[in-house]
Chains A and B, each alone.
Chain A
Amino acid sequence: MSEAAPSAAAIKEFTRPPSLLGKSVTGRYITVAFMVLLLVLPLVAWFTGNTFYLDFSTRIICLSFAAVSLNLILGFGGMISFGHAAFIGIGAYMVGIPAYHGYESGWLHFPLAMGVSALFALVTGAVCLRTKGVYFIMITMAFAQMAYYLFLSLEEYGGDDGLTIYNRSVLNIIDIENKVVLFLLAYAALATGIYAVYRIVNSRFGMVVRGCQSNEARMKALGYNTYAYRLTAYVIAGAMCGLAGALLGNFQSFISPDMMGWTRSGELMFMVILGGTGTLFGPVLGAVAFLVIEEILSAFTTYWALPFGILLILSVLFIKGGLSGLIHRGLKHG
């Protein structure tokens, strides 16, 4: 995992790419233990009859995957997208719409989800990446809102009311109607996603994208077509998130335009930042923390949003570099 200090982070990351499991030995143990727990605990819950926690974990995994994909552009590329939930929605609808028409093959759904999300990312990214800073934040939000209203108007597919998926995607080698199988599939997708991000950010392509974050002008001067590099990264992230959406749609068996509302995009951003931007496992840590805290608070009080909001502000004020940073510093001092 990367250094915590935000100012130094950009330069350091450019010169020292993130390693898969982190530099320090203890850090590696923690990362491995965390990922193993994420796999084992839900299965233990299932074996002991607490099916709900397996389901809850599947949702966490799907959203972690989405957060990992957002982190690729936000954390490593400096592209603050406030519209990333659009890809979740598109991915989910690419399961729901074919299923509604009787096409139930997962070999159709998943490539379609990734393909359409990639296409949406390509078209919108081409426009969005012309802008910078806050304008970029807001234009990505605008495109997501457009997608939201588009699906809202699709009366045939439920419009505002959403669409129930009566049968999950059919994959002839595994049966994802089985909750455990679906959980394992999502987990495998997440692990693959993290590994893919690791390979991407350490490739020459990834170096250029990360270089654009710290100093785009220099990368331009070095002769790179930074626009094309950033757009490519944007499209890859979109496709990954589309897959996360297809998994989430399958898991929930219910999809609605709400999945791509701006508050959802905000939550994804928050997961990434809470966990630590520009770290490989940070977004997963953030997603787990976000959803578990929400679940615990809402179990205790209907007004969970109040303590949750306070925690949010406190975490922004006092936890620099996210939870990863916190753990990292803890290791240094401890």
Chain B
Amino acid sequence: MSTLFLIQFLNGLQLGVLLFLLAAGLTLVFGIMDFVNLAHGSLYMIGAFFCATLTFWTGSFLLAVPLALVATAIVGLVVETGVIRHLYQRDHLDHVLATFGFILIADTSVQLIWGPEGIAIPLPEALQGQVQILPGVIFPAYRLVIIAAGLLVAFGLYWLIGRTRLGMLIRAGASNRTMVSALGIDIKTLFTAVFALGAVLAGLAGMLIAPITEATIGMGNDIIITAFVVIIVGGIGSMKGAFIAAMLIGLIDTLGRSFLDDMLKVFIPVNAAETAGPAISSMLIYIIMAAVLALHPQGLFPPKVR
């Protein structure tokens, strides 16, 4: 039981890391531009498809990832300058609608370009296997790589935001947008850079998960809602909040999926537990979100000045 718990904990951590990569971009864009980007999940999908194609072109997954990151950044830049930029001044409703439209465009375009079947991505031999972490605890090597990569990026972001000039502007922008532009900063470029950074993070998340789930159409649409839950629970604009909430949600979701039905079987008939288990564990994250917002209407770690 404890071995299983440890493995499920790692699985939860892996999901958490993935959610963090998505949520980090969302919370940046949201916190700084006050922009609701439902299409953030489409960038996740596009990243995965770029990576798949490049893996077959270059013959190596490891080579494909950096190239695909650049490609995703370019998509982010084009979308930002073409459409998104004109919407910052609008209200959230318009954001939701326009990005909803972008989801439709992205999903259909991907089907037209890559076909509907999705692409399986081959991993290097070394990553295909398993690693023995502790005696009896064997874990897929590639999932450990995802955890490591995610934590590395989290650390990188911590450094970027806490220690660099760009980070300073981002922090300032999140707490007082008008002040930053009043200081003579080129706010347009800053916004474009932040949006591209968010796109890269989302794309990276997509690339990391694609060798596990394949690159498929609409892969971003389900996870994006969970990512929104993460940033709401964490407090919009807060990187620390996004990280903690991502880990929390990742763990709760995974542990719920693995242990809830067994726990329910104690109270209700086995058959009912087998269907109720998955349903309640899917509901769990929303219950937590509602509970958090009921107690802290601004999330767990709201940015200090607003």
A323 → B minimal CB distance (Å): 14
> What residues on B are CB-neighbors of A317 within 8 Å?
83, 86-87, 98
Cα distance A82–B38 in the bound complex, in angstroms: 12
The prevalent SS among residues of B at the interface is helix
Set of chain A residues within 8 Å of B102, measured between Cβ atoms: 309, 313
A146 at the interface (CB under 8 A from B): yes
Cβ-defined contact, A153 with B105, below 8 A: no
Considering the complex, which residues of chain A in the window 268-313 have a beta carbon less than 8 Å from any beta carbon of chain B?
269-270, 273, 277, 303, 305-306, 308-313
Q: How far is the CA of A262 from the CA of B221 in the complex (A)?
A: 10
Which A residues are CB-close (under 8 A) to B263?
A: none
Contact assessment for B290 and A142 in the assembled complex, using a CB-CB cutoff below 8 Å: yes
Residues of A in contact (CB 8 Å), total: 43
Q: Is the interface of A mostly helix, strand, loop or mixed?
A: helix
Query: Per-residue 0/1 for B8-38: is the Cβ within 8 Å of any A Cβ (1 yes, 0 no)?
Result: 0000000000000000000000100000101
A76 to chain B, nearest CB (A): 14
Smallest CB separation, B137 vs chain A (Å): 32
Question: Could you say which residues of chain B place their CB within 8 Å of the CB of A305?
Answer: 104-105, 107-108
Name the segment of A45-53, A105-113, A130-138, A227-235 touching the other chain. Answer: A130-138
Out of A133, A143, A152, A269, name the residue touching B97 (CB < 8 Å): A269
Within B185-237, the residues touching A (CB, 8 Å) are 225, 228-229, 232, 236
Which listed residue, A131, A137, A143, touches B286 by the CB 8 Å rule?
A143
**Closest chain B CB from A216 CB (angstroms):** 14
Chain B residues touching A, range: 35 or more
Does A312 contact B297, Cβ atoms closer than 8 Å?
no
**B103 on the interface (CB 8 Å rule)?**
yes
Known contacts: A133-B92, A139-B289, A150-B283. The answer to whether A316 contacts B105 by CB under 8 A is: no
Q: Enumerate chain B residues within 8 angstroms of A146, measured Cβ to Cβ.
A: 283, 286-287, 290
Question: What distance in Å separates the Cβ of B232 from its nearest Cβ neighbour in chain A?
Answer: 5
B214 CB to nearest A CB, Å: 21
Which A128-171 residues have a C-beta within 8 angstroms of B?
130-135, 137-139, 141-143, 145-146, 149-150, 152-153, 155, 159
* B interface with A by C-beta (< 8 Å): 30, 36, 38, 83, 86-87, 90-94, 96-98, 100-105, 107-109, 111-112, 225, 228-229, 232, 236, 271-272, 275-276, 278-280, 282-283, 286-287, 289-290, 293-294, 297-299
A residues lining the B interface (CB < 8 Å): 6, 74, 80, 82, 127, 130-135, 137-139, 141-143, 145-146, 149-150, 152-153, 155, 159, 262, 266, 269-270, 273, 277, 303, 305-306, 308-313, 315-317
Can you name 8 A-B pairs with beta carbons within 8 Å? A145-B225, A266-B100, A273-B97, A305-B108, A306-B104, A313-B101, A317-B83, A317-B98
Known: A269-B97, A303-B108. 19 other contacts (CB 8 A): A82-B96, A137-B36, A138-B232, A139-B289, A146-B286, A149-B279, A150-B283, A153-B275, A153-B279, A306-B112, A309-B104, A309-B108, A312-B98, A313-B83, A313-B98, A313-B101, A316-B98, A316-B101, A317-B87
